[in-house]
Amino acid sequence: MSITTDEWLAELERVCAGKDADGFTVRELADATGHGAKWCRDRVRLGMAAGLIVRAGAKVVEGIDGTPRYAPAYRHTKKAQKKAPV
């Protein structure tokens, strides 16, 4: 499935709207959007390079072995607002 950056950002805004102000881990984004973790990680990386996504700290998550560990959390910046045409 091909998706544009604007579509991904709109999906990210929809997922994040009114929810966790502390940000989302890649796994949480993958679960919420239905995309794979690699796909979400790649989009987060692109969004960070563009200044549209920032790291929001870390969350304690449970690994598959039940051990708690830290995972980075990300959030959408409000910079993604489209500029008015000049």
pLDDT tens, residue by residue, 19-30: 656 789 999 999
In a domain, 84, yes or no: no
Q: Which domain holds residue 50?
A: 5-78
In a domain, 25, yes or no: yes
In a domain, 86, yes or no: no
pLDDT tens, residue by residue, 29-70: 999 888 899 999 999 998 899 898 999 999 999 999 999 999
For residue 23, give the nearest of 77, 68, 67 by alpha carbon: 77
Find out whether 54 and 75 touch, Cβ atoms under 8 Å. yes
Quote the pLDDT of residue 60: 92
What is the tally of structural domains in the chain?
1
Quote the pLDDT of residue 86: 33
Quote the pLDDT of residue 65: 95
Q: Which helix (H) or strand (E) holds 9?
A: helix 5-16
Find out whether 72 and 20 touch, Cβ atoms under 8 Å. no
In a domain, 83, yes or no: no
Q: Give the CATH number of the domain where residue 45 resides.
A: 1.10.10
How far apart are the C-alpha atoms of 71 and 74, rounded to whole Å? Answer: 10
Contacts of 44 (CB under 8 A, 6+ apart): 26, 29, 53, 74
Residue 16 — pLDDT band, cuts 50, 70, 90? low
